[in-house]
Amino acid sequence: MATPGKGGGMNTPARGGRRSDKRWRIACVAATAGLAVVAGCSSSGSSSATGATASTSSSAAASSTAASSTASSSSTAAATDSVAVAATKALQYWIKGSQTTPPTSGPKAVKGKSIWVLSCGQAAAACAYWADAVVDAGKAIGWKVTLFDDKLIPTNGNTGLEDAVAAHADGAVVLGNDCPQNEQGLKAAQAAHMPVVGIDEDDCNDPIFGGSGPSLLTELKDTAAYPTVDSFLESNGTLQADYLLAHLGSAANVIEFKSTDIVSKELTNQGFEAEYKKLCPSCKLTQVPYTLNDMIDGQLKTKAQDALESDPGANGMEVTADSDIDLVFGPVVDSSAQAGKILVVGAEGLASNITAARAGQWESAGSGEPMNWEAWAAVDAMNRIFAGSPQVDEGIGLQLWSVKPTAVNLPAAGQYYDPPGVNFEADYEKLWGVS
């Protein structure tokens, strides 16, 4: 078991004993949900409304038909229409996956280094899995690793980075927060010449933050298919839209849970909306905005319940993170009238989510993101910095995993999603000369 370290950090246990997922449950309080309902324009016109009032579109009759059937039967019917045909064609790319292979050339392990890993919050399964995997990779390369828990409060990352500087760490890996939220700590790291690698994090000078901020971290390079972090995150949403429309077709009536304060989630939402509206401009889309505080204080549960109750005909749901499904959306769906009748597409492929999906609960599929691979790639990126070598593509991509309507790219029981057939851990250990 980890022991508390200085400044909120933890001295990590020996490699080989990954800690179990924490089933963080939040106390929910009653709140009124605000729903923004969006319907795409069609040649015959459409209307939209703000609040709990349902919108109408030229596909209303198809949506009504879908409401009276199960998600699987909707999939069968939708397979005959043009929307489903186009989405199914697009989905073939995601079934194969956009990943390539880890790099085969690079520096050997730089010895004697100490790094800190800043978890976005060990209470959330995704953050914990990510951070713990960085710890494993850091130990595999032979470094001392200290874990700092942001406790789901992004600005706590400033303290973590400042503590890492005070502890004379050689580098830090950050994940799950937005760069401007940690700008103070990142500037302290830069002033101390302590490099920082970000996983799924844009640098502070990225256009999404206005483009005028300073460059304070090294962004992890995925593959040539994703020249920017933004393009990688948006593609998560593209995959999600392709999955839902491939199985629901023009009858799609989807609830999108839309983050408004976490950039990585906002980008996934943007990718989803763009693909959804491109393939089916007349399909109904109900957007439910939420914040991190909504999840922490319990209001998100009420918003989710209200969204489902307001539209009993909904046959699809999009959520940007598996942890959010674990904490809120999964149990809400399972206790709703739509249980078993709605396709829920999530994200990374956390073990708890895939286990629940196999049992007919929570979600149906996700945009598989190899978080373990990303963690090892971040350590490789840090090693390249220490060695004075350029950054390279790490081979990381996205891939559909699904249970429903068909099983695709599923890991062994009880395991997290990883791309089938890629032994990236062994590849990195060989690259580093530590195998």
Whether residue 27 is contained in a domain is answered as no
Q: Can you give the pLDDT at residue 213?
A: 94
Contact 376, 103 (CB under 8 A): no
- Tally of CA atoms within 13 A in the half-sphere of 37 that contains its CB: 21
- Helical H runs in 8-81? 60-67, 71-78
User: How wide is the angle at C-alpha 399 spanned by C-alphas 300 and 378, nearest 5°?
Assistant: 85
Contact 114, 166 (CB under 8 A): no
**Beta sheet of 9-11, edge-to-edge order:** 3-4, 9-11, 144-149, 114-119, 171-175, 196-199, 218-219
Contact 134, 197 (CB under 8 A): no
Q: Where are the beta strands (DSSP E) in 282-350?
A: 284-290, 316-318, 343-346
CB under 8 Å to 107, separation ≥6 — which residues? 383, 384, 386, 387, 389
The SS3 of residue 140 is helix
Helix (H) or strand (E) holding 161: helix 156-166
d(Cα 143, Cα 424) in Å, to the nearest integer? Answer: 19
Q: Can you give the pLDDT at residue 176?
A: 82
Contact 350, 326 (CB under 8 A): yes
Whether residue 6 is contained in a domain is answered as no
Contact 160, 150 (CB under 8 A): yes
Q: Can you give the pLDDT at residue 178?
A: 87
Q: Which domain holds residue 75?
A: 37-435
- The CATH number of residue 378's host domain is 3.40.50.2300
Whether residue 1 is contained in a domain is answered as no
Task: Provide the token pair at 244.
Answer: 């839902």
Whether residue 13 is contained in a domain is answered as no
Residue whose C-alpha is closest to residue 348's, from 13, 21, 1: 21
Helix axes 156-166, 183-191, angle to 10 degrees: 20
Which CA distances in Å does 109 have to 141, 289, 428, 431? 6, 45, 10, 8
The SS3 of residue 346 is strand
Whether residue 60 is contained in a domain is answered as yes
- Name the β-bridge partners of 131: none
CB under 8 Å to 244, separation ≥6 — which residues? 87, 252, 254, 276, 316, 318, 343, 345
Contact 179, 214 (CB under 8 A): no
Phi then psi for residue 144, to 5 deg, are -80, 135
Q: What is the number of domains present in the chain?
A: 1
d(Cα 273, Cα 286) in Å, to the nearest integer? Answer: 11
Phi then psi for residue 260, to 5 deg, are -120, 5
Distance of CA 192 to the CA centre of its chain: 31
Give this prediction's pTM.
0.80
Q: Can you give the pLDDT at residue 126?
A: 86
DSSP conformational letter for 22: P
Whether residue 272 is contained in a domain is answered as yes
d(Cα 42, Cα 18) in Å, to the nearest integer? Answer: 51
Residue whose C-alpha is closest to residue 363's, from 353, 371, 351: 353
d(Cα 184, Cα 385) in Å, to the nearest integer? Answer: 22
Q: Can you give the pLDDT at residue 292?
A: 86
CA dihedral sign of residues 248, 254, 259, 260: positive
343-346 vs 365-368, strand pairing mode: parallel
The SS3 of residue 180 is helix
The amino acid that residue 207 corresponds to is: P
Whether the link from the prior residue into 405 is cis, omega within 30° of 0, is: yes
Whether residue 11 is contained in a domain is answered as no
pLDDT of the chain, 435 residues: tens digit per residue: 333 333 345 444 333 333 333 322 222 322 233 333 333 333 333 333 333 333 333 333 333 333 333 344 444 544 579 999 999 999 999 999 999 999 999 999 999 999 999 999 998 888 999 999 999 999 999 999 999 999 989 999 999 999 999 999 999 999 988 899 999 999 999 999 999 999 988 999 999 999 999 999 999 999 999 999 999 999 999 999 999 999 999 999 999 999 998 889 999 999 999 999 999 999 999 999 999 899 889 999 999 999 999 999 999 999 999 989 999 999 999 999 999 999 999 999 999 999 999 999 999 999 999 999 999 999 999 999 999 999 999 999 999 999 999 999 999 999 999 999 999 999 999 999 998
Whether residue 8 is contained in a domain is answered as no
CB under 8 Å to 76, separation ≥6 — which residues? none
